[in-house]
Amino acid sequence: AQLREKLLAGGVVRIPKILPDSVALLALKTLQEMPRESWNLTQANRDASRNNVAHRFSSRRFGSETLTHLFRVLGELLPGELNSFSAGRYLHGDHIERHDDRQYTDVRMEDGSTVLCSRTVAVIWYLTPDWRKEWGGAFHDLETGEEALPMASSGHPSISPKSLTRVQQIVSGSAPVYQMSGSRPVLGSSFGSLLPGLWKLKRRKEVHDTEFASTSYVNYSSMAVYILFTASRLRIGALNHDDAVHVAQWQGCAACRSGVPEHLNLLGVYLGVIASTVVGIAMAQSTQLALPVPERFLEDTTMVKITHAMGVGDFSAVRSIFLLGVFGGLACGVVGASLMTLLAYWPAAIEVLLAPGSAQAQLENPGCDLLPSATEVGNVNADAAASAGQTSCLIQQRADTGKAVIEPKESPFSPAQWQCISQYGASVDADLPGFARRLEQRRFGGTGKASTDGSVILGAGFGTTATRSLAAFARQLGLAVHHCKQGKREDIPEFWMRLMNITSMQHPNGLDGCLSAVDAMNFSEAFDQGDDLLLDTPMAEHFLDFYAVSPQSKVILTNRNAVDWVKARLLWDETMAAPLHSPCGMKLQPMSPETAVRLYEAHNRLVRCIVPAEKLTEINVFDGSTLDVPALSDFLGKGRPEFPPLFPRVSDQRWGDEAKKDFAICITGQIRRLELKTKVERLIRPLMESNFRVVVALVLDPRERFDDFVVVDGNFSSLQQAAEMFPSGITLLGDAFIPHDYPVDARYVEDLYSQLPEMGFEHAGHRAQSHMRQWEALERCGQLLISPVSHANYTLRLRDDSAILEPFVPRLDLLDESGLYAPACGSFGGVNDKFALMVGRGTAEHYFALSLDMVRHRFDEIHQLMVSSVPRRCNPEHALKIMLDLNQTKIKTLEPEDVPVVPSKNLRRDGKTYQCIYTLNDDYNECIPERSRVRITDIEGGFSVRQTGSQRARPDFLCDGTELGF
């Protein structure tokens, strides 16, 4: 009784601790443990024509026995009254703007009758234990000015049905807001077929016109039945044929033979118009068409209700009028409603089936009627902004994202592609309300013009999806690639710099200013800079703009698991742009990981939907599947190679000016001669443990046959096999190198022959060709290393058969800031060409490009210096020294103790493989450090190998006694 008295006084009534804490904790735990997918998301944007206010939250009513019991307990706040409760959840960004808490809906009573009810008391039970005001989410009673924070200590506020309220948007917080809410309805009169009851309710002002929610179809049907019943009685009055003829000729009939006066004919016209309006509104409501109806029509419908509620008299004189007014009005109403349905709902005509009275409609939109009342329409005309906050139906209304179709503008996109964009906008709207409207207002492509060229390939994947690996691969194939560059601003073209700033920075004029700036961009500029492939930020964030000006382009979508992507992206840089089209400075970090996952997946769905299947290829190098490299090469326009290269594995570690200890290793030669075990265990892993960033480039000829001999002494036959040996965490590139076999100057062959005439001229020719291939491979290695690192601070060049005798990390204290270092041994009168350590990026660049270029274009100088040297030496080591001297490259040497690297050969004995070092030559023998020599002699289990029949005291090879294990 006290509660009822407080409620009658109006305002908000707070009842602290109405239930024990244990019950509140049980309720909170029940809601927290509910799966995400079990909550029903309710959302809409402000739309006066549909009687919507802006709101978003989640609710649940059924499916939990605990909830059912709790709802019954809450219903005992006002015993004996009808009630309805549901559970609610508010997350980041959820809110309800200013609205009227009344709601009208039909309730089926125990006796089977249907009664119209409206809310008189609203109950909210907050369950969230702790909350701060600055996090938002507060409940406001706008009439009394009272406020309640969404936390358990706020008790159970109950509000008047006439109160205007709102729920403040949640801007931050460590946990969702959980609550249980419901209402106590007041009973009204059901229409049935008793129209005087309607008039009684109207006079008592308990309801407004058309606020009878889902009973409107029944109401107007009852009216039609009443009219048809009256007409049937007239029909029985023996209407003759002549009367029917004259009824059809009522227009211009001053003195009709039927004897009906002219003013009654006009009354028939008026009734026909009114009937048409009534039936049209009824049909519109039955299909949930939320069309703005002029107020005068609503007043006319009231007049019709009064007229037929009180209409009695002699119907014999107006029987023709009823025939025309009723049947003509019904026919016009049906046709009008059908036309309205087709015009408004052609893309989703199935909605016609969802009449408010149907079971499906109640399931989809319980108790909701979107047609505004006369009062609400008047308010819209007076002040659209204010009236948009009022609604007669909000609770548990489900957003119909299928209706948010963006109207096609002038663009190359087809209707089907526009539907893809609409679906994307609606999907993002669930997390970022208003996004679809922003997307709808965009001018995709800016001021650029659509081209039919399509030669430039677009990368639609966000960064951290192997875009750098794809960029390295495309460059390896010879394509020009634009990729998001980390480095000096002057290295970035002006167009990309402007777009990057728009993408990552907030505009001084806010969101509208940013979108205007994007629309003013000429996206066609990106296709005039000589690039064949566009990748990464801001390409992916403005994919629709680039695709709009190049709709014939092929598209590559780099992808990975969405959850893993968010984790990796945040680890890389949490200030990166959100995975969103035209993010306008929105960052990844403030949003929840779950939201970022949904936005990322929505983007990928958009790309798959809008790009034709034959022009789209998708790459995921993170899911363990084998990438079809030949097919990717073909998609990029480079055909299917016989020997496919290795798809690069570019590490997530940063490269650029901030990388002061990056270490590149170039390995050249033949794949079947590759020694890899010691390189990985004694060089690459120690470098990684010493905090070097390691990149390895393999430039290896994959062929088994070389001229008239077969290479059989290696352990690998493909780059893919070799790649499995390398540890994760490094950058790995691999080129199946097929040399061009540039012609060798005959003088060089003669020079080589003069040094070893006993081997024959043919042998000299083979050696000369092998040296040309070696120099060409060096040039290729330099080209590969430019892509991921623009040359490292330290670069090491090794041959395929180079063996690392012990764990090796270069001593930086022995190295200057720049220069070329070679072993002091194995020089053969020149510079050891089997090993080179370069310090400084410029040094490495010159070293790799130098040899082939000079041999092909400056051999006259090289030859003259070789033949004039004393003593005369004609070999690749001497040629390299001459080329470095001509290039004014300073050469420095390292002692064997500091460079434990020598050529090796894998030899097999008794089915086991051992690593052996060639020692017969003095130059090779001197390169073995003393501490390593002990291990490869019989002192520590090693053994020596002599060629059969050899009489030399020194063995040909010294072998490590430990089996390699291949």
Residue 742's pLDDT is 92
Higher pLDDT, 751 or 165: 751
Residue 303 lies in a domain: yes
81 pLDDT exceeds 80? no
Higher pLDDT, 360 or 654: 654
Pairing of strands 819-823, 835-839: antiparallel
Residue 129 lies in a domain: yes
Question: Side-chain half-sphere of 647: how many Cα atoms within 13 Å?
Answer: 18
Q: Distance (Å, rounded) from C-alpha 749 to C-alpha 416?
A: 67
Q: Is residue 183 domain-shared with residue 210, that is, in the same domain?
A: no
Q: Is residue 684 domain-shared with residue 629, that is, in the same domain?
A: no
131 pLDDT exceeds 50? yes
Higher pLDDT, 336 or 557: 557
Residue 102's pLDDT is 63
Which of 874, 899, 924 is the last residue in one of the domains?
A: 899
Q: What mean pLDDT value characterizes the chain?
A: 74
Residue 242 lies in a domain: yes
∠ at Cα 731 (729, 734), nearest 5°? 135
For 197, residues 6+ apart whose C-beta sits below 8 A from its C-beta are: 189, 190, 191
Q: What CATH number has the domain bearing residue 127?
A: 2.60.120.620
Which of 158, 187, 216 is the last residue in one of the domains?
A: 187
107 pLDDT exceeds 80? no
Most confident of 21-30, 406-415, 640-649: 640-649
Q: Is residue 518 domain-shared with residue 556, that is, in the same domain?
A: yes
Q: Is residue 431 domain-shared with residue 560, that is, in the same domain?
A: yes
Q: What CATH number has the domain bearing residue 765?
A: 3.90.550
Q: Is residue 202 domain-shared with residue 156, that is, in the same domain?
A: no
Q: Distance (Å, rounded) from C-alpha 809 to C-alpha 377?
A: 81
Residue 171's pLDDT is 62
What is the enclosing helix (H) or strand (E) of 196? helix 195-203
758 pLDDT exceeds 60? yes
Question: 667 and 653 in contact (C-beta within 8 Å)?
Answer: no
Q: Is residue 97 domain-shared with residue 74, that is, in the same domain?
A: yes
Mean pLDDT, rounded, for 759-784 = 92
Residue 345's pLDDT is 42
Q: Residue 564's CB: how many other CB atoms inside 10 A?
A: 14
Q: Distance (Å, rounded) from C-alpha 542 to C-alpha 549?
A: 12
In this structure, what are the phi and psi dihedrals at residue 217, rounded to the nearest 5 degrees?
A: -65, -45
Q: Is residue 488 domain-shared with residue 519, that is, in the same domain?
A: yes
Residue 939 lies in a domain: yes
Q: Is residue 889 domain-shared with residue 938, that is, in the same domain?
A: no
∠ at Cα 377 (372, 383), nearest 5°? 130
Confidence of residue 168 (pLDDT cuts 50, 70, 90): low
Report how far apart, in Å, the C-alpha atoms of 747 and of each of 190, 201, 817, 860, 937 are.
111, 114, 38, 9, 42
∠ at Cα 272 (270, 275), nearest 5°? 110
Domain count, the chain: 5
Which of 543-557, 641-655, 839-853, 908-922 comes out lowest in average pLDDT? 908-922
Domain that holds residue 110: 2-187
Which of 113-127, 688-702, 836-850 comes out lowest in average pLDDT? 113-127
Q: Residue 315's CB: how many other CB atoms inside 10 A?
A: 15
Q: Is residue 890 domain-shared with residue 919, that is, in the same domain?
A: no
Tokens of 886: 């001509």
Residue 234's pLDDT is 43
271 pLDDT exceeds 80? no
Residue 270 lies in a domain: yes
In this structure, what are the phi and psi dihedrals at residue 85, rounded to the nearest 5 degrees?
A: -125, 155
Cis peptide before 538 (omega within 30 of 0): yes
Confidence of residue 247 (pLDDT cuts 50, 70, 90): very low
Q: Residue 233's CB: how many other CB atoms inside 10 A?
A: 12
Number of H helices, E strands in the chain: 32, 31
Residue 965 lies in a domain: no
Instruction: Give percent of the chain above pLDDT 90.
Output: 31
Q: Distance (Å, rounded) from C-alpha 726 to C-alpha 724?
A: 6
Residue 370's pLDDT is 36
Q: Distance (Å, rounded) from C-alpha 500 to C-alpha 401?
A: 31
Residue 339's pLDDT is 58
pLDDT per position as a tens digit, 411-431:
678 989 999 999 999 999 999
Higher pLDDT, 388 or 762: 762
Confidence of residue 723 (pLDDT cuts 50, 70, 90): very high
Q: Is residue 599 domain-shared with residue 696, that is, in the same domain?
A: no
Residue 966 lies in a domain: no
853 pLDDT exceeds 80? yes
What is the enclosing helix (H) or strand (E) of 90? strand 84-90
Question: 89 and 35 in contact (C-beta within 8 Å)?
Answer: no
Which of 431-435, 757-761, 919-923 comes out lowest in average pLDDT? 919-923
Q: Distance (Å, rounded) from C-alpha 246 to C-alpha 202?
A: 39
429, burial (CB in 10 Å: exposed 0-12, middle 13-18, buried 19+): buried
Mean pLDDT, rounded, for 898-917 = 83
Higher pLDDT, 845 or 230: 845
Residue 294's pLDDT is 37
Tokens of 329: 């009005």
Q: What CATH number has the domain bearing residue 613?
A: 3.40.50
Higher pLDDT, 253 or 884: 884
Higher pLDDT, 236 or 460: 460
Residue 407 lies in a domain: no
pLDDT per position as a tens digit, 289-332:
333 333 333 333 333 333 433 443 444 434 554 555 566 656 76
Confidence of residue 277 (pLDDT cuts 50, 70, 90): low
Residue 543's pLDDT is 97
247, burial (CB in 10 Å: exposed 0-12, middle 13-18, buried 19+): buried
pLDDT per position as a tens digit, 367-400:
433 333 333 333 433 433 333 332 222 222 223 3
Of the candidates 306, 115, 297, the one whose C-alpha atom is nearest the C-alpha of residue 199 is: 306
Which of 861, 879, 899 is the last residue in one of the domains?
A: 899
93-129 burial code (b ≥16 CB/10 A, e <16) = bbbbbbbbbbbbbbbeeeeeebbbbbbbbbbbbbbbe
Residue 87's pLDDT is 86
Which of 249-258, 573-582, 630-639, 906-915 comes out lowest in average pLDDT? 249-258
Higher pLDDT, 884 or 281: 884
Q: Is residue 461 domain-shared with residue 574, that is, in the same domain?
A: yes
Q: Is residue 863 domain-shared with residue 943, that is, in the same domain?
A: no
Pairing of strands 912-918, 957-959: antiparallel
Question: 942 and 960 in contact (C-beta within 8 Å)?
Answer: yes
